[in-house]
Structure 1
Amino acid sequence: MVEQSSIRKEGDPESPQGSRKRTLRRVSKLIRPLLFPDTLSAQSSSRASFAL
């Protein structure tokens, strides 16, 4: 309980929103390939280009 309150005070209202956005991005990256296989292929190609 105390740890959560301290985190809220340090982060103010903006930081929790940023963390939520980050989590949403991670979840979207994991879910999008399942819903849209096309995006998965696109991500794999982009990863290959980055590796090269």
Structure 2
Amino acid sequence: MDVNNIVSSYMKLRGLTSLFRFLGGSSLLFDWLLSFILDLSSIHTSHSL
């Protein structure tokens, strides 16, 4: 597992979170995005096992 990839993904997530807060974005959209990212990460970890 590439640590740099994880860090960059985390920083992108932080950036998206701050952007949504700045825009006062829909919490529903953020919840969907978060669950989508969590689904991707769980798929990634299951493949790496």
How does the TM-score come out when normalised to structure 1?
Answer: 0.46
How does the TM-score come out when normalised to structure 2?
Answer: 0.48
Higher gyration radius (CA): 1
